[in-house]
């Protein structure tokens, strides 16, 4: 379970995240839905422990993320908006490297790599330099590296970006599997229809604030409220 309490992030005078609070239960996919520049990626980085909040806190399974980033990284899988990968490694080398720094037993690592490589159909790219792969293939490699240690919590920042329809369907099936295993997922997107099919509950984020929260049905009922309507217009 994830608890986000009154999170604020300032970059100089710029307020990127402005007092955000939300909870994600076990077995729930929570969507952070908002237009570009609304503060999604900044929030996701704070959730993943790679950026410290200016004020407020995030608890993952009761652990304060900013105070225990190493502990939290053991149970969190984070997929950044743009893949951050070692371009001069091959996917095989990267998976082994991630396995060794995360202390994943060899047989377990091999089993998980094989499973996800097959699921995403990237067998033919395993021995090519990551820097030479397409954005979509790099995105799949990034997803796999985030899943190898069997995280309890997934932080996915626009994770469908660059995926072909088949891979997007596979990712969606994987997310449903994780959810059924009781894992918590935060899924950011600027695409309303994606949030609609994937998320159990959605927080609509705009100018660093969550301006509405609920199931897609609840949000659609509220959508006549002026501010929410503006945001939905930007999203569709
Ligand atoms: P989103 O992911 O919803 O598009 P971001 O969290 O990336 O939004 O950005 C929110 C706001 O914070 C934007 O105005 C962006 O320009 C600003 N911002 C994000 N990162 C930085 C940074 N490192 N330094 C200064 N401003 C930033
Ligand atoms: Mg973003």
Give the pLDDT confidence of 106-142 residue by residue, as tens digits: 999 999 999 999 999 999 999 999 999 999 999 999 9
To the nearest whole percent, how much of the chain has pLDDT over 70? 100
Would you state the pLDDT for residue 189? 96
What is the number of the ligand closest to the CA of 205? 1
To the nearest whole percent, how much of the chain has pLDDT over 90? 86
Domains in the chain: boundaries: 2-235
Would you state the pLDDT for residue 19? 97
pTM over 0.80: yes
What is the number of the ligand closest to the CA of 42? 1
Would you state the pLDDT for residue 86? 85
pLDDT of residue 222 exceeding 90? no
pLDDT of residue 83 exceeding 90? no
pLDDT of residue 236 exceeding 80? no
Average confidence score pLDDT of the chain: 94
Taking residues 180-202, report their average pLDDT. Answer: 95
Would you state the pLDDT for residue 69? 87
Question: What atom in ligand 1 is closest to the CA of residue 38?
Answer: 3
Q: Distance between CA atoms of 193 and 235, rounded to whole angstroms?
A: 9
Taking residues 19-37, report their average pLDDT. Answer: 96
Would you state the pLDDT for residue 161? 87
pLDDT of residue 211 exceeding 90? yes
The model's confidence at residue 25, banded by pLDDT at 50, 70 and 90, is very high
CATH superfamily of 2-235: P-loop containing nucleotide triphosphate hydrolases (3.40.50.300)
Q: Which of 37, 186, 187 to mutate to test the pocket of ligand 1 (most atoms within 8 A of CB)?
A: 37
Distance 15 CA to ligand 1 centre (A): 9
Note residues around ion ligand 2 (Cβ under 5 angstroms).
Answer: 40-41, 81
Residues with CB under 6 Å of ligand 1 are 11, 14, 16, 34, 36-42
Would you state the pLDDT for residue 42? 98
Would you state the pLDDT for residue 95? 97
The model's confidence at residue 21, banded by pLDDT at 50, 70 and 90, is very high
pLDDT of residue 235 exceeding 80? no
**Quick one: how far is CA 40 from the chain centroid?**
10
């Amino acid at each position: 379970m994830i608890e986000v309490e009154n999170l604020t992030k300032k970059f100089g005078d710029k307020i990127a995240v402005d007092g955000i609070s939300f909870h994600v239960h076990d077995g729930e996919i929570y969507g952070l839905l908002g237009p570009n520049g609304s503060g999604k990626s900044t929030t996701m980085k704070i959730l993943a422990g790679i950026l410290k909040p200016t004020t407020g806190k995030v608890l993952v399974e009761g652990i304060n993320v900013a105070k225990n980033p190493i502990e939290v990284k053991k149970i969190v899988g984070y997929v950044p908006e743009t893949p951050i990968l070692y371009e001069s490694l091959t996917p095989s080398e990267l998976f082994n490297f991630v396995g060794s720094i995360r202390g994943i037993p060899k047989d377990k690592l091999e089993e998980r790599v094989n499973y996800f490589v097959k699921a995403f159909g990237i067998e033919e790219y395993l021995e090519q330099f990551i820097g030479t792969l397409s954005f979509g293939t790099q995105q799949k490699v990034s997803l796999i590296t985030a899943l190898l240690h069997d995280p309890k919590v997934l932080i996915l920042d626009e994770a469908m970006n660059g995926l072909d329809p088949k891979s997007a369907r596979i990712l969606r099936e994987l997310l449903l599997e994780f959810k059924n295993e009781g894992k918590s997922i935060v899924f950011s997107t600027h695409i309303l229809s994606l949030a609609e099919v994937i998320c159990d509950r959605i927080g609509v984020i705009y100018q660093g604030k969550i301006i509405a929260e609920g199931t897609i049905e609840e949000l659609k009922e509220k959508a006549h409220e002026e501010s929410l309507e503006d945001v939905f217009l930007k999203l569709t």
